[in-house]
Amino acid sequence: MTTKVPITARGAEKLREELVQLKKVERPRIVKAIAEARAHGDLKENAEYHAAREQQSFVEGRIKDIEGKLGHAHIVDITTMNAGGKVVFGCTVELVDEDTEEAVCYQIVGEDEADIKVGMISINSPIARALIAKMEGDVVSVTVPGGERSLEIVEVRYE
């Protein structure tokens, strides 16, 4: 049995949109480009043909990858739950670093959705693992590459 991988409803929707784009727009465009390149004759020295085949390989691989991810996804819609202030997958957590007084805000998401630049951290990251099942007002100690950090959970939102 394959393990289900958690993903937010928004993350699953983004993957579905990308899949539609690849299947309905990119795949037909590449098939057309290959047909046009074939019409030019000798395929051995045809750079357009080889470039189009390489694009086709990439797109087909990405389609397979997305279909696999969606097939093994456990979609979590955080807006339908309220864990009573407890940190759970999909929630948004406001934190304050007790040493620097720096405020940060993270949403805990699946591995494929994580993007620290927009405040989305993987459920498998050290910070997320330390936060899971904690409550508003708790202080957690997290070992990060820069050393030990004490983070206070200021607010937990289910949005």
Do residue 120 and residue 50 come from a single domain?
no
DSSP secondary structure code for residue 26 in this structure: I
Do residue 83 and residue 151 come from a single domain?
yes
Strands 92-97 and 147-157: antiparallel
Do residue 84 and residue 153 come from a single domain?
yes
Do residue 72 and residue 56 come from a single domain?
yes
Give yes or no for residue 43 having a pLDDT over 70: yes
In the numeric block, the tokens 């206070």 are attached to 152
> In terms of residues, how long is the chain?
159
Q: Residue 74 — very low, low, confident or very high, per pLDDT cuts 50/70/90? A: very high
Do residue 87 and residue 152 come from a single domain?
yes
pLDDT (0 to 100) of residue 2: 63
Which residues have CB under 8 Å from 135's CB, separation 6+?
A: 85, 86, 87, 153, 156
Examine the fold and report which residue of 41, 76, 111 is the final residue of a domain before the chain moves on: 76
pLDDT tens string 4-32 = 889 999 999 999 999 999 999 999 999 99
Alpha helices in the chain (DSSP H): 9-21, 27-39, 47-71, 126-131
Task: Tell me the CATH number at 65.
Answer: 1.10.287.180
Do residue 34 and residue 96 come from a single domain?
no
pLDDT (0 to 100) of residue 101: 92
Percent of the chain with pLDDT over 70: 99
Which residues have CB under 8 Å from 8's CB, separation 6+?
A: 75, 76, 77, 78, 90, 107, 109, 110, 113
Measured between alpha carbons, how far is residue 108 from residues 61, 63, 112, 156, 159 in Å? 27, 25, 12, 11, 12
Q: Residue 116 — very low, low, confident or very high, per pLDDT cuts 50/70/90? A: very high
Q: Residue 81 — very low, low, confident or very high, per pLDDT cuts 50/70/90? A: confident
Amino acid at 89: F
Do residue 52 and residue 90 come from a single domain?
no
Examine the fold and report which residue of 15, 41, 76 is the final residue of a domain before the chain moves on: 76
The residue-averaged pLDDT of 46-68 equals 93
Please give the residue range of the domain that contains residue 35: 5-76
Q: How many domains does the chain have?
A: 2
Examine the fold and report which residue of 26, 45, 76 is the final residue of a domain before the chain moves on: 76
The residue-averaged pLDDT of 40-62 equals 88
Q: Residue 85 — very low, low, confident or very high, per pLDDT cuts 50/70/90? A: confident
| pTM for the full predicted model | 0.80
Amino acid at 47: A
Do residue 51 and residue 11 come from a single domain?
yes
Q: In the structure encoding, which two tokens stand for residue 137, read together?
A: 């007002």
Do residue 11 and residue 70 come from a single domain?
yes
Backbone φ and ψ of 153, nearest 5°: -85, 110
